[in-house]
Amino acid sequence: MNLQEDLLSRFLRYVQIDTPVMSEYAGQRCPTNPGQLELAALLRSELDAMNIPYYHDEKGFIIAFLKGNKDVPSIALMAHLDVSNDVPGVDVKPQVHRHYEAQKITLKDGIVLDPEKDRALQACIGDTIVTSDGTTLLGADDKAGIAAIMSMLQYFVLHPDIERGDVEAVFTPDEEGGDGMSHFPLKELRSKIAYTIDAGGLGEINYECYHAYTAHVHFEGVAIHPGSARAVMVNALSMMAAFINMIPRSESPEATDGYYGCYWPADIRGGMEEADLTVMVRDHDKGEVHRRLEALQGFAHAVMHAFPGGKVSVESHLSYANMGEAIQKNEIVLQRLLQAMGKLNIVPVIEPIRGGTDGARLTAMGVPCPNIFTGGHNMHSRKEWLSLNALEKACLLAIELVKG
């Protein structure tokens, strides 16, 4: 088995299936994009070819089970089917750049990957780099994770005598929308510890993430013909603009890093009479998240005072919680990961994730689930790229974890 070529062929196959999350359907249907079911069907056919049994359902969840031959705790390895909709994610045309020599990579629409600005590229001399053609994202988040898990399964099928524990491969829909795990069939999962393969560069692991809330803000105005609008019209779009301008730019994603939290407008829609705004609220500290949620209520009252006759309502719900405390209470989870990395001479790069994963939701359900690198960079952008060498290391790490 040529592991790199197996990983590459799988990854190229998976990214060409259109699976961007459709946030407008979050909470209404799962999966939000039927393309995720197409990818799930492909994965099931590949599992069938390997004679690996699995659970699946109409929402796209797959839990495959491969029996081991060694008495070590079973683990689950998880990745998600969907990709972000922050930039175009349909009709992805992956580009393979073999034997990379630290040159600029020029793609369509003026997209340039410059190693002088993207220093991670400088560590990839001689590597194979995969990008999109520049018109879309690539989809390494998280089809690289899917490829790593599927190649890991293929490896064990081809090497049945290797001593290892039981392993479950878990594929989930709608991670990017934050709502997919609300439907997770927990009773079908046998493992008590798990790992998502859904992080960034070589060696990166995450066991702390945001407390994440999604706030839905509804603006109700008064519409009338502009010629008769004086002292009557209340423009819901103008109310929304005023509200957005109250969100501190110093607490935006582009102005913060590390453990600093943030909030930002993520989606807008509507007209003069009614308009809706989605605001993402994030912080590693629960108190800071609630401070921002209270601020949104304050902004709503201020806008109603500034626009007499208009109404603003704010409703928020928890998307996922910081998994750090729960994982730290289960020392075996990190110990097993760090020991496996040591055997492969992979230097751990422990970072608080400025986002969240399905692992955070699974941790809250009682199955601790830190996050492992894929080799992907610049996620959710047209400059997204993947290191094939790093993806191979992620797959080898999955293999070592299963060996126990």
Q: Which of the following is catalytic: 6, 18, 82, 384? A: 82
Among 193, 192, 172, 191, which residue's Cα sits nearest to residue 181?
172
Local confidence band at 203 (pLDDT 50, 70, 90 cut-offs):
very high
Q: Is 187 exposed, middle or buried (0-12, 13-18, 19+ CB in 10 A)?
A: exposed
* Active-site annotation holds for 175: yes
Q: What per-residue confidence (pLDDT) applies to 325?
A: 84
Under 8 Å between Cβ of 277 and 244? yes
Handedness of CA 346, 348, 354, 357 (dihedral sign): positive
Whether 119 contacts 61, CB under 8 Å:
no
Question: By the 8 A CB rule, do 18 and 42 touch?
Answer: no
Please name the residues in contact with 333: beta carbons below 8 A apart, sequence gap of 6 or more.
193, 195, 207, 327, 368, 369, 370
Q: Exposed, middle or buried by CB within 10 Å (0-12, 13-18, 19+), for 227?
A: exposed
Burial 146-163 (b: 16+ CB within 10 A, else e): bbbbbbbbbbbeeeeeee
Beta bridge partners of 129: 97, 387
- For residues 237 and 288, is the Cβ–Cβ distance under 8 A? no
Structure tokens at 50: 């390997």
Q: What is the pLDDT of residues 49-72, one digit of tens each?
A: 999 999 999 999 999 999 999 999
pLDDT at residue 321 in the model: 87
Q: Per-residue pLDDT for 277 more than 90?
A: yes
Report the pLDDT averaged over residues 305-310. 97
Q: Please report the pLDDT score of residue 179 as a whole number.
A: 80
Q: pLDDT tens across 7-55, in order? A: 999 999 999 999 999 977 877 899 999 999 999 999 999 999 999 999 9
In Å, what is the CA distance from 263 to each residue of 10, 167, 260?
36, 38, 11
Are 292 and 286 spatial neighbours (Cβ–Cβ below 8 Å)? no
Lowest mean pLDDT among 119-133, 253-267, 351-365: 351-365
Question: Phi and psi at residue 75, in whole multiples of 5°?
Answer: -125, 155
Question: CB 249: neighbour CB atoms within 10 A?
Answer: 9
> CA nearest 16: which of 152, 149, 199, 138?
138
**pLDDT digits 0-9 by tens, 148-190:** 999 999 999 999 999 999 999 999 999 997 688 999 999 999 9
| Bond into 166 cis (ω within 30) | no
pLDDT value at residue 10: 98
pLDDT confidence of residue 108:
97
What is the model's pLDDT at position 165? 96
Give how far the C-alpha of residue 329 lies from the chain's centroid of Cα atoms, to the nearest Å.
Answer: 24
- Strands 54-56 vs 62-66: parallel, antiparallel or unpaired: antiparallel
Q: Which residue, among 194, 134, 161, has the nearest Cα to 364 in the 3D structure?
A: 194
Q: Which two tokens stand for residue 108?
A: 């369509």
Whether residue 273 lies in the annotated active site: no
* Alpha-carbon gap, residue 81 to 355, rounded angstroms: 17
| Crossing angle between the packed helical segments 3-15 and 35-49, to the nearest 10 degrees | 150
AA identity, residue 74: S
Q: Calculate Rg over the CA atoms of the chain.
A: 23
For a pLDDT cut of 90, what percent of the chain falls above it? 92
Give the three-class secondary structure for 65.
Answer: strand
pLDDT reported for residue 257: 93
Q: How far is CA 232 from CA 96, 218, 359, in A?
A: 59, 20, 50
pLDDT, tens digit, for every residue of 319-378?
888 999 899 889 899 999 999 999 999 999 998 888 878 999 999 999 999 999 999 999
pLDDT above 70 covers a percentage of the chain that reads: 100
211-220 and 105-106 strand pairing: unpaired
pLDDT at position 199: 86
What is the predicted pLDDT for the residue at 357? 80
Q: Indicate whether 251 pLDDT > 90.
A: yes
209 touches 361 (CB < 8 A): no
Selecting among 18, 142, 174, 175, the annotated active-site residue is: 175
pLDDT interval class at 248 (50, 70, 90): very high
pLDDT of the residue at 404: 87
- Model pTM? 0.88
Q: Give the per-residue pLDDT at 169.
A: 98
